[in-house]
Amino acid sequence: KIRNAVYQRGICEMREARSCCDVAVARGYVGSISPVTLSKIDHVIGALVKIVR
Average pLDDT over residues 10-16: 97
Q: What is the pTM of this model?
A: 0.84
CB 51 within 8 A of CB 7: yes
Give the model's pLDDT for residue 37.
Answer: 96
Q: Is the pLDDT of residue 1 over 90?
A: no
Q: What is the Cα–Cα distance from 7 to 15, expressed in whole angstroms? A: 12
Average pLDDT over residues 17-37: 97
In angstroms, what is the C-alpha Rg of the chain? 13
Helical axes 35-52 vs 2-26, angle rounded to 10°: 160
CB neighbour list of residue 15: distance below 8 Å, 6 or more residues apart: 45
